[in-house]
Amino acid sequence: MTQFDFKSLSDLAGQRLMFGFEGQSLNAELKYLIKEYRVGGIILFRSNIESADQLRRLCMNARKYALDQGLPDLFVAVDQEGGQVARLRKPFTEFPGNPHMKTIDDAREFARITASELSDMGINMNMAPVMDVAPPDVDSIMKDRVFSGGANRVSQLGTAVIQGLQKGGVMAVAKHFPGIGRTLKDSHFFLPELNAELSDLKQTDLVPFEAAKKAQVSGIMLSHILYPKLDPDWQASLSKTIAYDLLRQDMEYQGLVMTDDLDMKAISHDMDTCIHRIMIAQIDMALVCHAGPNITEAREAMMRYLEKDGELFESGCACVKRILAVKERFLV
């Protein structure tokens, strides 16, 4: 991995992209994403999974194919929170979800078993845990996915999951920064707003993410929520104020920063605008989770801005260095 020439434009762009795909094997589409687009990672959904044996072959073959193309090992990610959001079902262990985790031991058991099962399949990144705080008096869109309790309790249970996953060799990704527990609309379909002051966020929503940082969480995922008091123009996943100024500078987080799925309805901007904003904000990885033209448009936009803007090229090198550092920590 240390021999990877990350200064070529194609590789610089590709390593910052994580894509979804159709199929249940190392098919022509997936080979193309890896060989031609030089992707840094792929993300799996239920449609990609038929059985344990099939899933293991898919993951192992994809990772080997990336290495055969002279690339670093792939991030192979999945959303395996338990409960409502769990891509792997039986014969894998099915947990009731974060609201049902009552003790630190519950969180540790979930993380230990989940890490073992994921790593056995060749999956090395879990888009979990959810670190959002949902007040009991709010009909939160996240009420069925969050840990019960206030910010400190979410921090305790969440960091137990982070530590357990990563001890088991699976990178954890805390989400959805800077916190969506008080939102009522689903960003899969709408652009929710949270009109909270930064001082308010620091007292509640940001507390678990600070704990995740201290637990050396591998990645933090940005929400698609608009926080007008922080940035009136751009949702978190496209906001330099939130992704760079707040998370990277003020909170001094040095791990991976990634977007939520750019195919969600909360994103109304064209892909060129999204990628430009992501690069300005120095967000490490952009997620496009569904096959379609957005994948090609994201890659072409990334290539174009790297080529024509020296400042974005330099910051892009820094992003890829972070990506490679995380890959070396977990995948070498």
To the nearest 10 degrees (0 to 180), the angle between helices 104-121 and 52-68 is: 60
Residue whose tokens read 């899933």? 55
Category of 276 on φ-ψ map: left (φ > 0), alpha (ψ -120 to 50) or beta: alpha
Asked if residue 232 has a cis previous peptide bond (ω within 30° of 0), the answer is no
Q: Extract the tokens encoding 43.
A: 């993300």
Asked if residue 178 has a cis previous peptide bond (ω within 30° of 0), the answer is yes
Nearest-5° angle of CA 180, CA 43, CA 98? 40
| Residue 265 dihedral angles phi and psi, to the nearest 5° | -70, -20
Q: How far apart are CA 225 and CA 181, in angstroms?
A: 11
Q: How far apart are CA 284 and CA 13, in angstroms?
A: 10
Nearest-5° angle of CA 295, CA 296, CA 302? 95
Residue whose tokens read 């894998």? 92
How many Cα atoms within 13 Å fall on the side-chain side of residue 41? Answer: 30
Q: Which of 132, 260, 261, 284 is catalytic?
A: 260
Cα–Cα nearest to 217, from 329, 123, 324, 97: 329
Residue 260 annotated as catalytic: yes
Q: Which of 100, 144, 188, 233 is catalytic?
A: 188
Q: How far apart are CA 122 and CA 67, in angstroms?
A: 14
Q: Extract the tokens encoding 186.
A: 């689903």
125 touches 76 (CB < 8 A): yes
Residue 137 annotated as catalytic: no
Residues noted as catalytic: 188, 260
